[in-house]
């Protein structure tokens, strides 16, 4: 009989792998806000993706009411905050990056939204009051102890907790690389691991896959660029040990079209939600 997966340990291990990859830059670069030069591009990327409707936004908005308060954890440039704020009494946006907060404030000012409180800090360490709803959209991947992250959400939520996470295909190109390198196909902290952690915590949450399908395919100008992207994602920047295998994998699974290499689509978003039991 195979050993039961320690989902909490797997989440922590994958978070640590990504952290080591990020920390391979110089100490001077580490001290700079990582989003300093990317916050505006991040905002524009979200705007492009949100031109199409999706079921997660529709579903979450359907649960809001004019008297509600909402906690947006890892609010980024404020896309969710700006979407929800007109439908509720108050939103508290928690975000550690000063650059993201600066762009968020500009966006809220442009939209004339005034019912938002912004707290600079990282979850779960910030102090906030209880809210009716809490939301974390793809902002939990850097925190190694997911149960602590979730328990803090539960403690601050009266009605519904919402989590949005990556849900990769089991046969995706990065999953295939992870299987070869680590002996298991889970390439990153993601939906599969998080949901199993919730089950181990006694939280039987609902799941809704976004109806927009898989995310748009990424492209690379060269195989070398694709290799760099793959190694960065898997936290392999500091080693060339797997370069030969990864290049062959990329050559096999990427498609050359109009001078660019097209990655196969392999990820969608999963919405997890539940009512906290106090």
Per-residue pLDDT tens over the stretch 67-85: 999 999 999 999 999 999 9
Which region, left, alpha or beta, applies to residue 74 given φ > 0 means left and ψ of -120 to 50 means alpha? Answer: left
pLDDT at 29: 44
Decide: 141 and 189 in contact? Cβ < 8 Å.
yes
pLDDT at 32: 52
User: CATH for 7-170+184-215+267-274?
Assistant: 3.40.50.150
pLDDT at 277: 82
CA angle 132–136–140, rounded 5-degree value: 140
Do β-strands 260-262 and 219-220 pair in parallel, antiparallel, or remain unpaired? antiparallel
Q: Side by side, which strands form the sheet with 90-95?
A: 116-120, 90-95, 69-73, 131-137, 157-168, 267-274, 206-209
pLDDT at 30: 46
In the numeric block, the tokens 């290049």 are attached to: 247
Tokens coding 102 = 């600066």
Which region, left, alpha or beta, applies to residue 203 given φ > 0 means left and ψ of -120 to 50 means alpha? Answer: beta
In the numeric block, the tokens 């990020």 are attached to: 22
Per-residue pLDDT tens over the stretch 233-252: 999 988 899 999 999 999 99
Global pTM reads 0.92
Tokens coding 84 = 């929800």
Q: What is the pLDDT along the chain (278 residues), one digit of tens a residue?
A: 667 899 999 999 999 988 877 665 544 444 457 788 888 888 888 888 888 889 999 999 999 999 999 999 999 999 999 999 999 999 999 999 999 999 999 999 999 999 999 999 999 999 999 999 999 999 999 999 999 999 999 999 999 999 999 999 999 999 999 999 999 999 999 999 999 999 999 999 999 999 988 999 999 999 999 999 999 999 998 889 999 999 999 999 999 999 999 999 999 999 999 999 85
Decide: 272 and 162 in contact? Cβ < 8 Å.
yes
Instruction: Write b or e for each residue in 27-50: b if 16 or more Cβ atoms lie within 10 A of its Cβ, otherwise e.
Output: eeeeeeeebeeebeebbeeeeeee
């Amino acid at each position: 009989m195979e050993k039961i997966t320690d989902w909490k340990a797997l989440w922590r291990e994958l978070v640590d792998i990504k952290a080591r990859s990020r920390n391979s830059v110089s100490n001077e670069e580490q001290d700079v806000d990582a989003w300093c030069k990317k916050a505006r591009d991040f905002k524009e990327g979200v705007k492009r993706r949100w031109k199409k409707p999706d079921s997660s936004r529709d579903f979450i908005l359907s649960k809001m009411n004019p008297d509600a308060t909402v906690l947006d954890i890892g609010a980024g440039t404020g896309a969710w905050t700006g979407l929800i704020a007109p439908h509720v009494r108050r939103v508290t946006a928690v975000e550690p990056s000063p650059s993201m907060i600066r762009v968020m404030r500009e966006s809220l000012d442009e939209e004339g939204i005034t019912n938002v409180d912004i707290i600079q800090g990282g979850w779960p360490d910030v102090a906030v009051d209880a809210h009716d709803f809490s939301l974390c959209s793809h902002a939990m991947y850097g925190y190694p102890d997911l149960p602590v992250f979730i328990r803090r959400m539960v403690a601050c939520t009266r009605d519904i907790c919402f989590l949005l996470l990556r849900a990769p295909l089991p046969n995706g190109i990065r999953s295939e690389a992870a299987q070869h390198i680590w002996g298991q196909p889970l390439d990153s902290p993601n939906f599969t691991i998080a949901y199993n952690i919730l089950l181990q915590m006694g939280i039987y949450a609902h799941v809704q896959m976004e109806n927009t399908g898989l995310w748009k395919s990424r492209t690379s100008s060269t195989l070398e660029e694709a290799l760099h992207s793959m190694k960065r994602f898997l936290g392999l920047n500091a080693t060339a040990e797997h370069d030969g295998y990864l290049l062959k994998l990329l050559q096999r699974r990427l498609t050359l079209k109009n001078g660019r290499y097209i990655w196969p689509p392999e990820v969608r978003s999963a919405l997890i939600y539940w009512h906290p039991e106090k």
